Structure 1
């Protein structure tokens, strides 16, 4: 059984163009540790709940310029964690030449990091 956790208005993002990393996180949550799942860094709190997701090599992953990554129009991140599996779906919408461009990324892996079973959503609009 999983519980759904959505914290509206509590999500923020940061883009580091020098290192090409895009970070979406809960602004009120305390970070404790990180785990890597493919090209994502998953930040967790002391209770092993996800508090942030960092996309490495973001401009290459989404096929969009570093300049456009600095100001997304919309961000959605859904995280589903079970005892055995972690599934992360990201959807980014950017403005390019006055047109909305959507990019998605999905990553699934085993829950060998002992994350607490739950479903979390980050959203910025």
Structure 2
């Protein structure tokens, strides 16, 4: 049995300092449905690929200051899907005191939307 592996490059990243929300998404992609895992919203496009991600309370989730989130270098989102479970891993590379510092969060939930098994990823980097 082959496992689906779908990777999407986010073309837009935005951090809302006031509301402490970090967004990454692909412009122009059609929205099919959204899923919330532990206050992280994942938007899916047609074909069940990740179209966008919103991380609410991002500074608290990653254990950094809001200012640090304005200095990120890279973000990687991985969603591993089985017929029963969704496992979300998000890694953020921040520039703190002129050094790259990785910060990660994980979340899991049941696969109540029957998303097909496989691995989905979204990433983006800043220079």
- In the alignment, the residues of structure 1 paired with residue 26 and residue 3 of structure 2 have an alpha-carbon distance, to the nearest angstrom, of 19
Mapped pair 1:5 → 2:17: no
- In the alignment, the residues of structure 1 paired with residue 31 and residue 70 of structure 2 have an alpha-carbon distance, to the nearest angstrom, of 23
Say which SS state the counterpart of residue 112 (structure 1) adopts: coil
Q: What corresponds to 1:15 in structure 2?
A: 15
1:12-35, CA deviations, whole angstroms, 9 ceiling, x for partnerless residues?
Answer: 321111111111223342223322
Q: What corresponds to 1:35 in structure 2?
A: 35
Q: Which runs of no fewer than 5 residues in structure 2 stay unpaired?
A: none
* Number of positions where the alignment pairs a residue of Structure 1 with one of Structure 2: 124
CA drift of 1:46 comes to: 4.2
TM-score, L = length of structure 2? 0.84
CA drift of 1:61 comes to: 0.8
TM-score, L = length of structure 1? 0.85
Structure with the largest fraction of strand? 2
Q: What corresponds to 1:67 in structure 2?
A: 67
- Superposed CA RMSD in Å reads 1.9
Q: Which runs of no fewer than 5 residues in structure 1 stay unpaired?
A: none
Q: What corresponds to 2:118 in structure 1?
A: 118
Q: What corresponds to 1:53 in structure 2?
A: 53
CA drift of 1:48 comes to: 4.0
1:39-87, CA deviations, whole angstroms, 9 ceiling, x for partnerless residues?
Answer: 2111122444332221110001111121221231111111112221111
- In the alignment, the residues of structure 2 paired with residue 80 and residue 11 of structure 1 have an alpha-carbon distance, to the nearest angstrom, of 22
Q: Say if 1:118 and 1:11 are closer, same or farther in 2 by CA, change over 3 A.
A: farther
- In the alignment, the residues of structure 1 paired with residue 117 and residue 29 of structure 2 have an alpha-carbon distance, to the nearest angstrom, of 17
Q: Structure 1 residues 11-20 or 86-95, which shifts more?
A: 11-20
